[in-house]
Amino acid sequence: MFLIRVKAHWRHRAYGRHIARLAGRDPTASQIRPHRKGATMTVLTSSLLSDLVTEDLRRASVLEAYGLEYCCGGQRSLFEAATARGLDAQLVARALELPGESAPLRVTSADLAGLAHDIVDTHHAYLWEELPRLQVLVATVVSAHAERHPELKRILAVYDRLVADLDVHLTREERIVFPAIAQLERTQTPVRMRGTSFVDAVQRLTDEHDIIGDLVGQLRRITGGYTTPDDGCSSYAAMMLRLHVLETDLHLHVHKEGNILLPRALELHYRVGGLR
Ligand SMILES: [Fe+2]
Ligand SMILES: [Fe+2]
């Protein structure tokens, strides 16, 4: 089913821009920008992980490197999260004090539709394109190496479940919840939804984020942190690399929705008189 999903031209263009962002380049830049000196922000260990990333998206890479999950577990303080992993919180805080201009997430409380659109244009476009292609690669690696690496069959099973869950989840966001958020913002009145309430629809997405996070965590554990075995071929290594990129992208994706878009949409829903 996934292989026949949307392949429209705009999605390819969005995918290209998104990959450029993942590679650390500014996809809209036509020339190298001169370095601009900026004050380095002091990071407090009492800060929430989700707030740290929202203030400066570059910090997502730092937290990933330390193995600190900031999307579903983003409501923990840096101190709490670092200590739980046996890390020196002050050391991590210094690493998060990045020089130059910060790269805050472009969102204001009055721009929820814009944020939802950006998420679809970047993260969803990437997933619609990558999930089926990676599914073919994983299946190929399994058929070639499962005899010597039986854990590959578990990787395939978890990956297939992730693909199936994301298919339903992304579709629900694009067709039902994100349009409802845009309507809520545009009309400033509570949105009526068929067969459910706005609050329940948002809660359902949040529950699904937890399941997606758990599946990605399983992939990380089964692959030993996306490590290619010594006898792994180039396809094996490519699979691990692409699974790792998928994890990194899903963390940022779920952070934008679970820590920013959905809580702010709920806040607006209640502010304009919406009920539970
Ligand atoms: Fe999404
Ligand atoms: Fe989502």
pLDDT digits (tens, 9 = 90+) for 187-237: 999 999 999 999 999 999 999 999 999 999 999 999 999 999 999 899 999
pLDDT bin (cut points 50, 70, 90) of residue 275 is confident
138 & 90 share domain? no
Q: How many helices (H) and strands (E) does the chain have?
A: 12, 0
84 & 194 share domain? no
The per-residue pLDDT of the chain, averaged, comes to: 86
Backbone angles phi, psi at 118, to 5 degrees: -60, -40
Q: What is the mean pLDDT of residues 7-28?
A: 41
Q: Tell me, in angstroms, the distance from the centre of ligand 2 to residue 63's CA.
A: 20
d(CA 271, CA 266): 8
Among residues 19, 98, 18, 85, the alpha carbon closest in space to that of 52 is found at 98
Backbone angles phi, psi at 196, to 5 degrees: -160, 175
Position 15 in a domain? no
Q: Quick check: 54 and 115 in contact, CB under 8 A? A: no
222 & 255 share domain? yes
Does residue 7 surpass a pLDDT of 50? no
Position 161 in a domain? yes
Q: Quick check: 21 and 28 in contact, CB under 8 A? A: no
189 & 239 share domain? yes
Domains held by the chain: number: 2
Q: Tell me, in angstroms, the distance from the centre of ligand 2 to residue 187's CA.
A: 23
d(CA 124, CA 104): 20
91 & 136 share domain? no
Q: Tell me, in angstroms, the distance from the centre of ligand 1 to residue 141's CA.
A: 28
122 & 212 share domain? yes
Task: Look at residue 6 in the predicted model and tell me its pLDDT.
Answer: 36
Q: What is the mean pLDDT of residues 142-148?
A: 92
d(CA 162, CA 182): 27
The CA-atom distances, in angstroms, between 147 and each of 70, 144, 152, 253, 269 are 36, 8, 9, 35, 54
Q: What is the mean pLDDT of residues 146-169?
A: 96
pLDDT tens track for 73-100: 889 999 999 999 999 999 999 999 998 8
d(CA 180, CA 159): 30
d(CA 232, CA 257): 36
Q: Tell me, in angstroms, the distance from the centre of ligand 1 to residue 92's CA.
A: 29
The CA-atom distances, in angstroms, between 276 and each of 113, 151, 201, 258 are 22, 44, 11, 18
| Domain region containing 95 | 41-99
Q: Tell me, in angstroms, the distance from the centre of ligand 2 to residue 157's CA.
A: 21
Specify the 3-state DSSP secondary structure of 127: helix
Task: Look at residue 38 in the predicted model and tell me its pLDDT.
Answer: 53
Q: Tell me, in angstroms, the distance from the centre of ligand 2 to residue 14's CA.
A: 18
90 & 202 share domain? no
